[in-house]
């Protein structure tokens, strides 16, 4: 499932509401009772500014930028010179913004914060997707996201060419080692999961081949292979195929750009990467006033 194709198609009312809600919270946090520094500029002053990328990146977050400026002042006009998901180069102009100086100065930081953060996730995701081009595996995200930006980051993953996993705890069942230990066994916890009849996806994490076989015997159709070596992943894929390919296999843990292709070539269906949302480094962007009137 890709969340933003199924539940939040871009430009839908649900998507627009998500962006607006996040932008309003960010502006409230930043502006509070008012922008003291922007008040130093004459209220009638009009300016034109540009946003520039200082490094190579995959651009993501244009709806958030647009909403930031328009929430501060609806008269602000933005002429975008790039599109969402486009790969840009260092020193490339992304857009030209025209409007009241005070509005541009007030909205600047929140707009750039969204753009630099979401572009970072999209850029990092694209690196992984490119690294395993030509294989059958998909790159997936996790719940290891920046608090209160989960939906935005999951959107950025799709812009970068990745796919979404469950949104939250209520959105699917992922049985991990502590759930197994608490329930008593893989068979017991799987039986409980099926008994819920929740209509949601059920995935179980295993740490070795013995547990994989237990999970398959218990009826698992989606299995997370945690920290398996490439040899173990190959063995798991082969065993699953010999068993009639009963489960979707997902590799996770200890995966980076240095080994993601090798892991994809084992034949696993999916590879989940927490780093694309939790370890991102913001893209270097800047806004510069280029004209006043």
Burial 87-111 (b: 16+ CB within 10 A, else e): ebeeebebbbbbbbbbbbbbbbbbb
- In the structure encoding, which two tokens stand for residue 73, read together? 């002042």
Question: Bridge-partner residues for 77, per DSSP?
Answer: 98
Q: Please pick, among 30, 73, 109, 235, the residue that the annotation labels catalytic.
A: 109
State whether the Cα torsion 240-129-280-160 is positive or negative: negative
Q: Which of 154, 161, 140, 159 is nearest to 264 (CA)?
A: 140
String of DSSP letters for 15-74: HHHHHHHHHHHHHHHHHTT--TTGGGS-TT-EEEEEEEESS-EE---HHHHHHHHHHH-T
Active site residue 200: no
Q: Please pick, among 127, 143, 144, 246, the residue that the annotation labels catalytic.
A: 144
Return d(Cα 96, Cα 77) in angstroms, integer: 8
Tell the burial category of 133 from Cβ atoms under 10 Å away from its Cβ (0-12, 13-18, 19+).
Answer: exposed
Q: Please pick, among 143, 150, 176, 213, the residue that the annotation labels catalytic.
A: 176
Q: Which of 80, 105, 72 is nearest to 288 (CA)?
A: 105
Active site residue 261: no
Q: Please pick, among 205, 214, 250, 269, the residue that the annotation labels catalytic.
A: 205
Active site residue 109: yes
State whether the Cα torsion 179-169-199-197 is positive or negative: positive
Active site residue 205: yes
Active site residue 226: yes
Write the CB contacts of 169 (distance below 8 Å, at least 6 apart in sequence). none
Q: Which of 256, 252, 257 is nearest to 233 (CA)?
A: 252
Q: Please pick, among 30, 55, 96, 226, the residue that the annotation labels catalytic.
A: 226
Q: Active-site residues: which are they?
A: 109, 144, 176, 205, 226
């Amino acid at each position: 499932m890709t969340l933003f194709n199924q539940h939040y198609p871009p430009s839908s009312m649900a998507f627009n509401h998500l962006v607006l809600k996040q932008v309003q919270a960010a502006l409230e946090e930043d502006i509070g009772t008012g922008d003291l520094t922007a008040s130093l500029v004459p209220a009638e002053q009009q300016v034109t500014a540009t946003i520039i990328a200082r490094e190579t990146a995959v651009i993501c977050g244009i709806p958030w930028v647009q909403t930031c400026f328009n929430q501060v002042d609806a008269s602000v006009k933005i002429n975008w010179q790039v599109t969402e998901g486009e790969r840009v180069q260092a020193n490339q102009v992304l857009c030209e913004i025209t409007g009241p100086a005070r509005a541009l100065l007030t909205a600047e930081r929140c707009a750039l914060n969204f753009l630099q953060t979401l572009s970072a996730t999209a850029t990092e995701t694209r690196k992984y997707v490119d690294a395993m081009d030509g294989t059958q595996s998909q790159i997936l995200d996790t719940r290891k996201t920046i608090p209160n930006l989960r939906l935005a980051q999951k959107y950025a993953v799709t812009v970068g060419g990745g796919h979404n996993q469950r949104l939250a705890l209520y959105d699917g069942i992922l049985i991990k080692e502590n759930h197994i230990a608490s329930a008593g066994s893989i068979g017991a916890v799987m039986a409980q999961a099926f008994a819920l009849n929740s209509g949601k996806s059920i995935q179980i994490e295993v740490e070795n081949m013995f547990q994989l076989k237990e999970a398959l015997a218990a009826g698992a159709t989606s299995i997370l292979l945690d920290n398996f070596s490439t040899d173990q992943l190959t063995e798991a894929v082969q065993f699953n195929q010999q068993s009639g390919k009963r489960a979707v296999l997902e590799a996770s843990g200890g995966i980076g750009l240095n080994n993601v292709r090798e892991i994809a070539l084992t034949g696993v269906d999916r590879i989940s990467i927490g780093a694309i949302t939790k370890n991102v480094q913001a893209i270097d962007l800047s806004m510069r006033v280029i004209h006043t009137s």
